[in-house]
Amino acid sequence: MTTTAGLLIRRVPAAWRRVVRIGALGALGQVFISLSGMPVRLDVREIVVPILSLGYLVVLAAPLVVGVLLGRRPEHSGFLANPPSNRDLVIGATTGGLMAGGGLSILALLLAGFDLRDPLINWSPQLLEFLSFGRGTGAGFIVWLVIGAGLGMVGGTLRLATSRTQKVIMTMALTVVAAAILESLVVDLVEGVKLEALVEWMYAPRGGVTLLGAAVLAIVSGVLSFVGQGRIKTVQARVQAMEGPKRTRVNLTLIAGVGVVMILLPLLVGKLTNELLANVGLFVLLALGLNVVVGLAGILDLGYVAFFAVGSYSTAVLTAATSPRIAPELPWFVALILVIFIAILVGLFIGAPVIRMRGDYLAIVTLGFGEIIRLLFLSDWLSGWFGGSQGITAIDGVDVFGLLTVDGTNPRRVFYLVLFFCAIAIYISWRLERSRLGRAWMAVREDEPVAEAMGINTVNVKLMAFVVGAVLGSFGGAIFVAKVGSVFPTSFLILVSIIILVVVIFGGMGNIFGVIAGAVVLIGVLGGPKQPGLLVEFSEFKLLIYGALLVWMMLARPEGLIPSARRSRELHQEEFLQDAWLRGEIDTDESNDPQTAGPTQTTDSDGGP
Amino acid sequence: MNGNPLLDIRGLTVEFGGLRALDGVDIQVHEGQIVSVIGPNGAGKTTLFNAITASVEATGEILFEGRTLLGLDANQVTSRGVARTFQNVRLFANMTVLENVMVSQHCRTKQGTFGALFYTKAFRREEAEIRARAEEILGFFGTRLIGFRLDQPAAVLSYANRRRLEIARAMATQPKLLLLDEPVAGMNPVESAELTGLIGRLREEWGFTIVVIEHDMEVVREVSDRVIVLDHGTMIADGDYHEVSSDPRVIEAYLGQGATTK
């Protein structure tokens, strides 16, 4: 039996095997997404009224992606005996999409026929209704085949179009989806500037973009993208070609512009949006701190939440009247100075034992320390000091020179406070990166033993990274306390460490802008560990999506959203060298050793005697 | 030789498990000398360098300027004034040529976080000095590593230029003793002749004392005041090139037993 099957499989040409494999993966993915409960739960959020909800968007993505994947022309297809024609590719993509859609068709049949609610809690009549569009199982069965094949074909055809067309279509689709996701933000903003009329036609009364709005957005963005392509790159190149003071002036103007927008924005938006902005800012701050440790010095710290916790608890103890043991009730800014010292001490205390380890071991130990700190705050032993699981509550906000108080009831003020500290964190990262210390961090990241041999005290240098990270993390903690008005050990779960790390990796390790972009996208859209983002409906599936994003990111773009040039060089050394060679930048002393031909830079250990 | 040796190694032993990579080696290097270390593969030459620069544990005694190097960390050895290059080039590949040479001045400079954060006058002065010194050192290699190359990542350099940059990086630590591990390995005759000249100039112009591991006998003959031969972790000969090259034990070590009797 197996041999017959094996023979059969071998008789199928490789191209079809690929179609079947990717199609089946798409089908599995869709069934998984459906059974995760995402579509039914997300169905309430409209993207385009009345045709597309977030729930459908999630399941429809699979056949489209399958189509796009299968529409890719195999590399070096000129060498193949029968290179696939465009028609072949579209047929393949359509078949793949059909298979992916077929997964849901079969699921619909199974849902109608069996009851598996016991192990699969989302095996529900609602899911069947969702899949069959409320028109009976048979209809659902056929509709998904049709939709799957159609989307597969669209995806495949899209892939065959010129890159310019692809970009235009991508821009159009992304604009509409982005407009739907950013709805609350946009509405809030136009209400702030009293221009509601501008968007009234665009959004449906109960949320979602209207058909008219979608069409207009798509056309406008399509035209803009068609006309504007290449323009941005030209401008970028022109700015990069500038030198000295002129460049500095452009940079300063940009910084000033962003600063003004950041200062004006909170004035125009309402409380909820300000709350969101403050949350994003808090994570920008934390991510910038972790970026110093992970991105600049290359120390994989999985317990960064420890510094956040220490900052929070020490601020709470120093400022709150309700602190159990000692309650000096210092003003927040005075307490902050002490908090910085405490953070430095804790950074040294945690760093000292950890720093001598390398790689995986270091990561595991930091993971442990992150938990230890939380458990200490939770323990009965220290509950006399920190309140144990009761935490410390009723903490006053920040009193700014007796003029005003910054606390959670006024998210706008919290945002300004966060903004101020983000600016400090950006300045610190920026200055340190371009200093003797920053260079030493780079060297340690590249090759620690050699850095040591070149006279760098690697232990001290790495400890400095820990200390700087700890101080920035404690800033985050201090603001968090002022904002929330209470601290509990449950605010400092390991999850916080992981989410900050994901933000840093997703945005682009080692790049300040990347880290900020990562926090804005992830925390702003999906939400933080406990804070909701723009897609409030996602909060239940946040971790699933975080995980999927991280996996995808590692596969497709390990250097992050906005990578640092150096980091991406590290990750793509071979490709980078190839490109440099093509541009004629590779330096080859004529008549050199054959080793020059291939980059022979190795990082393995010295060969011994 | 008069005076105390700059580097005085006595009874140096390095063991890896049961294997004695170095077994009671005694070497003296006087200031201003260029000493070559030769020997067959596995003789313990690189281990000798690793022991001096504290990359491996060693017993015995290593005195540098009369003070022991044993028990120090690698970075402390470097700040005492011993710098090395590596047999398999180990540059910071993704740092630029300039940064490679700037970063190795770490132990000779001292501006810390405070200076960097407040962009103090002292910080700016030191940065300018570091940069100037780096450019001066790179200028030593002619036009190869300066100009547009300064801002290129080390990874794009040619093999020979990477070897040159390694030497530049070691020079930037401002050492008294320079340990070069096979500086011309993998180079063609023209390049290796050029680098041979460079080793001489390193002593004349920069005043380094140099210990060099080399397989190329042409280079060894050209540059060295003294040649030390290691075999199986012991020193079997020490003298000038002609003495050593006619030493029967050396010939035996290189060509195998019986070569001398024929």
Whether the CB of B191 is below 8 Å from some CB of chain A: the reply is yes
Q: From the list A434, A446, A593, which residue is nearest B95 (CB)? A: A446
Q: Containing domain of residue A128, as a range?
A: 11-75+82-160
Mutation target vs B (from A454, A463, A573, A579; most B CBs, 10 A cutoff): A454
Q: Measured at the alpha carbon of residue A207, what is the angle toward residues A204 and A212, in degrees to the nearest 5?
A: 35
User: Are residue A153 and residue A294 in the same domain, yes or no?
Assistant: no
Q: Which amino acid is at B179?
A: L
Compare A538 and A504 and report the one with higher pLDDT: A504
Which chain B positions have a beta carbon within 8 Å of A452's beta carbon? 73-75
**Span A514-535, pLDDT tens digits:** 999 999 989 988 888 888 888 8
Q: Which residue of A has its CA nearest to B100?
A: A443
Whole-number pLDDT of residue B61? 92
Domain assignment present for residue A60? The answer is: yes
Query: Does the structure show a pLDDT above 50 at B232?
Result: yes
| CA separation for the pair A210, B129 (Å, rounded) | 63
Check A606 against B169: CB less than 8 A apart.
no
Cβ pair A72, A158 in contact under 8 A: no
Q: Which amino acid is at A579?
A: D
Query: SS3 of A452, please?
Result: helix
Q: Which residue of A has its CA nearest to B74?
A: A453
Whole-number pLDDT of residue A589? 60
Q: Which amino acid is at A478?
A: A
Out of A537-541, A603-607, B65-69, B111-115, pick the least confident. A603-607
**Span A11-36, pLDDT tens digits:** 667 778 888 888 999 999 888 888 88
Whether the CB of B234 is below 8 Å from some CB of chain A: the reply is no
Other residues' Cβ atoms within 10 Å of the Cβ of residue A352: 12
| CA separation for the pair A465, A473 (Å, rounded) | 12
Q: Which residue of A has its CA nearest to B148?
A: A585
Mean pLDDT of all residues in chain B?
89
Q: What is the DSSP letter of A532?
A: B
Run of H or E residues at A58: helix A54-70
Whole-number pLDDT of residue B50? 93
Query: Does the structure show a pLDDT above 50 at A391?
Result: yes
Cβ pair A61, A33 in contact under 8 A: no
Nearest Cα of chain A lies from the Cα of B262 at a distance, in angstroms, of: 31
**Span A420-472, pLDDT tens digits:** 999 999 999 999 998 999 999 999 999 999 999 999 999 999 999 999 999 99
**Span A301-310, pLDDT tens digits:** 999 999 999 9
Number of structural domains, chain A?
2
Whether the CB of B119 is below 8 Å from some CB of chain A: the reply is yes
Chain B, 7-26: which have a CB under 8 Å from a chain A CB?
Answer: 16, 21-22
Check B107 against A591: CB less than 8 A apart.
no
| CA separation for the pair A470, A134 (Å, rounded) | 55
Query: Does the structure show a pLDDT above 50 at A366?
Result: yes
Q: How far is CA A297 from CA A90, A469, A509, A567, B95, in A?
A: 47, 10, 11, 12, 14
Domain assignment present for residue A6? The answer is: no
Whether the CB of A591 is below 8 Å from some CB of chain B: the reply is yes
Compare A221 and A206 and report the one with higher pLDDT: A221
What is the third-level CATH fold of B7-255? Rossmann fold (3.40.50)
Whole-number pLDDT of residue A12? 65
**Span B164-191, pLDDT tens digits:** 999 999 999 999 999 999 998 888 888 8
Mutation target vs B (from A574, A596, A601, A603; most B CBs, 10 A cutoff): A601
Q: From the list A443, A468, A607, which residue is nearest B92 (CB)? A: A443
Whole-number pLDDT of residue A36? 86
Which chain A positions have a beta carbon within 8 Å of B162's beta carbon? 601
Whole-number pLDDT of residue A77? 63
Whole-number pLDDT of residue A607? 38
Domain assignment present for residue A598? The answer is: no
Mean pLDDT of all residues in chain A?
84
Mutation target vs A (from B85, B90, B191, B192; most A CBs, 10 A cutoff): B90
Q: Look up tokens 């279509």; give the residue.
A: A169
The mean pLDDT of A111-120, rounded to a whole number, is 82
Query: Does the structure show a pLDDT above 70 at A96?
Result: yes
Whether the CB of B40 is below 8 Å from some CB of chain A: the reply is no
The mean pLDDT of A399-413, rounded to a whole number, is 80
Whole-number pLDDT of residue B142? 84
Whole-number pLDDT of residue A591? 37
Give the residue from A461, A493, A525 where a domain finishes.
Answer: A493
Domain assignment present for residue A571? The answer is: no
Compare A496 and A400 and report the one with higher pLDDT: A496
Check A573 against B155: CB less than 8 A apart.
yes
**Span A161-190, pLDDT tens digits:** 888 888 888 889 889 888 888 888 888 888
Query: SS3 of B17, please?
Result: coil
User: Are residue A154 and residue A281 in the same domain, yes or no?
Assistant: no
The mean pLDDT of A573-586, rounded to a whole number, is 78
**Span B18-33, pLDDT tens digits:** 888 999 899 999 999 9
The percent of residues in chain B predicted with pLDDT above 90, rounded, is 53
Check A604 against B157: CB less than 8 A apart.
no
**Distance, C-alpha B211 to centroid of its chain:** 6
Domain assignment present for residue A567? The answer is: no
The percent of residues in chain A predicted with pLDDT above 90, rounded, is 27
Mutation target vs A (from B103, B194, B232; most A CBs, 10 A cutoff): B103
Diameter of chain B measured on Cα atoms: 75
Query: Does the structure show a pLDDT above 90 at B133?
Result: yes
Nearest Cα of chain A lies from the Cα of B24 at a distance, in angstroms, of: 15
Whole-number pLDDT of residue B4? 83
Other residues' Cβ atoms within 10 Å of the Cβ of residue A330: 17
* Six token digits for residue A472: 């920035």
Check B159 against A600: CB less than 8 A apart.
yes
CB pairs under 8 A between A and B: 177
